[in-house]
Amino acid sequence: MTAQWITNVNVLNVRTGQYDLYNVKIDAGRFAALQTAPPSEDAGVFLDGKGYFMLPGLIDSHCHIMPSYAPLFTAAGVTTVRNTAGSFFLLSSLLEAEETAPSPRLYTTDRLIDGVPGLWGETSIGTLSTEDEALAVREVRRQASLGARFIKVYGRLKKEVMAAVVREAQACGLDVSADIMVSTEVDARSAAGMGVKFLEHNSGMMQALFPDWRYLGDAHQYERVRQCDMPWAKIEALCEHLLSRNVVLVPTTVLFDQMARKEDHWQPSRVEDSCFASFQEQWHQTASHVEPSKYQLITEYTKAFTETYVRLGGTILAGTDAPIVYIHPGYALHRELALLAESGLSPLAALQSATIVPAQVLGETEIGAIEVGKKADFILLREDPLENITAIDTIEKVAKSGKLYDPQELQEVAKAKENQVTEAWYHERIQEFEAYMKAYEQSCE
C-alpha cells in the first residue's frame, strides 16, 4: 500500500490541547510519522491539509447500531461506537467488516438483561427478561463466550439478580453497564456498591436524591421535584461516593434535551433530512407521547450531575443513545459535545470525552489520539473546535484506518443500505439466533 501524506495540517494533541503544524504520514492504516520536515516528492500520495484541523476519530459511547445506518456514524466523524445492547447476530456484518469499511468499529455487548416484565418486551434476540438468578448468571457466561466486551443490565432487574450478574461479569473479566432509569429497587449508590462500572444516562442518580421519584411517574411527581431548590450539597455527596467507586458516567444529555425540545428539537445542519427518512415515522410516533416538561427537568438535573462529577475529577464519556427519538445517528454526538460544554466541560474536555478518555477507559489502546503507531482514524475540520465546540460539524474528510471518505459519500452509502435490513433479513437472523441458543442450552445440560 502506498503511503499517504496529509501536509501542513494543524494536528491536535488531544491529551494537552496543543496544535502542531505537521506533515502526517499514514502507512498500512496507521499513523507512521508526525513531522515538521517536508516529505520528498516521491514519498507517496499527498493531500494538502493547509488551514484544516486534524482530530482523532470520534467515539460514541452509548448508541444502538445496525448495518443499515452504520455509515451515518462514520459520515459524522464517529469512527468507533460502544454499542450498548443489541445482538451479535444482527451485527455480524459490522463485526466482520474490513478495517477500512465505511462503518465504525464496534465495542459491543450482546442483549441486555432485564427483569419481568421487560421494558422492551419478553425475552428475545435483544433482551433477556428474567427473575431467575441462575438463568441471568448463565446469560453472562454465554455472552462472555460469544465475545461481549461488557454486560448491560436494565432497570426492571431485581436487585439480588443484578448483584449476581455483576459478580459473574467480574469473574468473567467484564465490566457492567447499567441503565436503571426505571428502577424502583436500585439507585446509583446501590449500583455502585454492587460494582456497576457505567451509569448510562446518569441513571439512578435521581432516585438516590429523591427515593420516591419515578422516571415513569406522573406530571405531579415531577412538579414536586421541580418545586425544590437544586440540592447541590446532596449532589456533591452522591458524586463523591460514585467517584470513590470509580464509576463512569455516560450522561447522554442530548437524549433528554431533544425530548424536552420536542418539535423544536436540534437538527444537524450539514446532512440531508432524507438520510434519516427511515427513522422519521418512528420518531414522530414516539414523540407524540413525550411530555417536554418532564424532560426539561431531567435535562437540568443531568447537567447538574455532569458538572459536579467533572468538577470533582470524575470520568465522563460522550454518548447519544442513537437512534432513539430525534437522536440522529452519528450527528447527535456533535450536539452532545455542545451540551457537555454547557454542563461545565471545556471544549478540550468535551472532545476528550469522545476520543482519548473512552479509548483509555475501554482499553482500546490503538485509537483515540493522533500518535505514531495508532490506527489512522481521524477527521479534518475547516474550523477549530477548541475555539467553538460547534465547529465539530465542519468536517471535510473522515478517515478510518487511513482510508479517506467524504461525508457526503458516506451519506449516500447509508441511503443505499437503508432497505437492506428487510423483514426477511431480520427473520433469518432470528432463526440463526434460535438455532444457536438451542445448541448452547443443550451444551449446558
105-164 pLDDT tens trace:
999 999 999 999 999 999 999 999 999 999 999 999 999 999 999 999 999 999 999 999
Question: Which residue carries 440463526 as its cell?
Answer: 432
What's the average model confidence in pLDDT over 382-390?
Answer: 99
Q: Does pTM surpass 0.75?
A: yes
Q: What is the pLDDT of residues 231-259, one digit of tens each?
A: 999 999 999 999 999 999 999 999 999 99
Provide φ and ψ at 338, rounded to 5°.
-65, -40
CA distance 269 to 323: 17
Q: Which band of pLDDT confidence, cut at 50, 70 and 90, is reported for residue 2?
A: confident
Where do the domains of the chain lie? 57-367+416-435
- Residue 94 near residue 67 (C-beta atoms within 8 A): yes
Contact 104, 414 (CB under 8 A): no
pLDDT class of 277 with cuts at 50, 70, 90: confident
pLDDT tens digit sequence for 13-70: 999 999 999 999 999 999 999 999 999 878 888 999 999 999 999 999 999 999 999 9
The pLDDT tens digits of the residues spanning 110-125 come to: 999 999 999 999 999 9
Total residues belonging to the chain = 445
Query: Rounded mean pLDDT of 402-417?
Result: 95
Cell 450531575, residue located: 305
The domain made up of 57-367+416-435 is a member of CATH 3.40.50.170: no
Residues 381/55, Cβ–Cβ less than 8 Å: yes
Rounded to whole angstroms, the Cα distance separating 57 from 399 reads 8
**What are 181-224's pLDDT values in tens digits?**
999 999 999 999 999 999 999 999 999 999 999 999 998 999 99
Residue 294 identity = K
The DSSP element (H or E) to which 284 belongs, if any, is helix 277-287
Percentage of the chain lying above the pLDDT 90 cut: 91
Helix (H, G, I), strand (E, B) or coil at 416: helix
Q: How confident is the model at residue 273 (pLDDT cuts 50, 70, 90)?
A: confident
Average pLDDT over residues 419-427: 88
- What are the pLDDT digits (tens) for 200-211? 999 999 999 999
Q: How would residue 1 be classed by pLDDT, with cut points 50, 70 and 90?
A: low
CA distance 206 to 183: 11
Round to whole Å and give the CA distance between 31 and 367: 11
Cross-strand bridge partners of residue 45? 4
Please give the single-letter amino acid code of residue 370. I
Question: Over the stretch 295-354, which tens digit does the pLDDT of each residue have?
Answer: 999 999 999 999 999 999 999 999 999 999 999 999 999 999 999 999 999 999 999 999
Average pLDDT over residues 404-427: 91
* Cβ-Cβ contacts under 8 Å for 144 (sequence gap 6 or more): 169, 172, 173, 174
